């Protein structure tokens, strides 16, 4: 015998359906009204033609796109290298900072001092120190400014990431380590097989978040001479007194960030689902 909902239940269904349709219509209406208002407000402004001409000129966008893409390729390469190196450095420093025992005091002190100093130091100044200061020493075999600038970015972001990793490590309950040690695992084994897997999983969203921020900051290397996407756009802006190249670069950066942001959201969701599993 098939289940037939009671008349009251059917009434409830009908009511819910009506409500759903009503809220969709309302949302559509309010979006349309706001959108129209914005469109009329902006395109109706007396200066709109000039703004359109100086920020959204299609021919300028096409003209400077190759140069900007060229610069973006540099950003992308730097991002991959710097993000990998900074994550490794951050993990290392975080592990050093959480070492126990009086013997390791100097190691802890250095690691702590590093995270304190480099988180406070503006990135631009670190890049200046590395890319203009180090070559000034005139040592044999000084690497390219690109490498030096990259090192400055890695060192600065390493400090942020170290603190994120440390937060993760410390969020793992001490009983976990105690249990691992009582099973006969050494401190290193306990760290490697018990603490770190849980810690990294917990802080994955903020780590990815910092990577998205890093993606925009790698471009700061341009102040040492290399031409990144923003710099390429700036050159275009200076040549034509038209801001369209900036808009092009901005859109490209957003497109570049989208996959990373998507991954961040997905990882966060998955972690939340797993943590709440069974409840």
Residue ranges binding another protein (CB under 8 A): 45-47, 131-132, 135-136, 138, 145, 222-227, 231, 234-235, 237-239
Question: Could you tell me the smallest distance in angstroms from the CB atom of residue 72 to another protein?
Answer: 15
Question: Could you tell me the smallest distance in angstroms from the CB atom of residue 147 to another protein?
Answer: 12
Rounded Cα–Cα distance for residues 271 and 161 (Å): 19
Tell me the C-alpha to C-alpha distance, in Å, between residue 243 and each of 45, 89, 104, 234. Answer: 19, 38, 54, 8
Are 231 and 223 contacting, i.e. CB atoms less than 8 angstroms apart?
no
Question: Could you tell me the smallest distance in angstroms from the CB atom of residue 38 to another protein?
Answer: 15
The candidate with the shortest Cα–Cα distance to 160, out of 94, 224, 216, 96, is 94
Residues recorded for the chain:
279
Question: Could you tell me the smallest distance in angstroms from the CB atom of residue 126 to another protein?
Answer: 15
Are 127 and 224 contacting, i.e. CB atoms less than 8 angstroms apart?
yes
Minimum CB distance to another protein smaller for 55 or for 266: 55
Q: Which residues contact 103 (CB under 8 A, 6 or more apart)?
A: none
Tokens found for residue 139: 């040592």
Question: Could you tell me the smallest distance in angstroms from the CB atom of residue 70 to another protein?
Answer: 9
Tell me the C-alpha to C-alpha distance, in Å, between residue 131 and each of 47, 143, 144, 174, 234. Answer: 42, 10, 9, 43, 21
Question: Could you tell me the smallest distance in angstroms from the CB atom of residue 200 to another protein?
Answer: 38
Helix residue ranges per DSSP H, 44-173? 48-55, 58-97, 105-120, 123-128, 134-136, 145-171
Minimum CB distance to another protein smaller for 104 or for 246: 246
Are 89 and 155 contacting, i.e. CB atoms less than 8 angstroms apart?
yes
Question: Could you tell me the smallest distance in angstroms from the CB atom of residue 10 to another protein?
Answer: 54
């Amino acid at each position: 015998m098939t289940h037939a909902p009671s008349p009251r239940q059917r009434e409830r269904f009908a009511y819910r359906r009506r409500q759903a349709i009503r809220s969709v219509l309302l949302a559509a209406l309010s979006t349309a009204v706001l959108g129209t208002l914005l469109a009329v407000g902006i395109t109706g402004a007396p200066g709109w033609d000039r703004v359109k001409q100086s920020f959204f000129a299609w021919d300028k966008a096409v003209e400077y796109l190759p140069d900007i893409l060229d610069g973006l390729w540099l950003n992308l390469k730097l991002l991959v290298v710097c993000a990998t190196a900074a994550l490794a450095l951050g993990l290392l420093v975080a592990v050093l900072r959480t070492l126990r025992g009086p013997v390791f005091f100097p190691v802890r002190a250095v690691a702590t001092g590093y995270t304190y100093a480099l988180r406070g130091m503006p990135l631009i100044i670190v890049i200046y120190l590395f890319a203009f200061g180090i070559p000034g020493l005139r040592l044999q075999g000084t690497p390219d400014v690109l490498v030096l600038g990259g090192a400055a970015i890695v060192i600065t972001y390493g400090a942020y990431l170290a603190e994120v990793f440390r937060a993760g490590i410390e969020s793992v309950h001490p009983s976990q380590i105690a249990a691992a040690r009582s099973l006969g695992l050494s401190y290193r084994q306990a760290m490697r097989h018990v603490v770190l897997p849980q810690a990294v999983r917990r802080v994955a969203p903020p780590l990815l978040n910092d990577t998205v921020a890093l993606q925009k900051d790698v471009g700061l290397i341009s102040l040492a001479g290399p031409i990144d996407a923003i710099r390429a756009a700036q050159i275009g802006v200076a040549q034509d007194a038209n801001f369209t190249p900036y808009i092009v670069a901005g859109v490209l950066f957003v497109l570049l960030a989208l996959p990373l942001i998507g991954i961040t959201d997905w990882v966060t969701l998955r972690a939340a689902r797993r943590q709440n599993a069974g409840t």
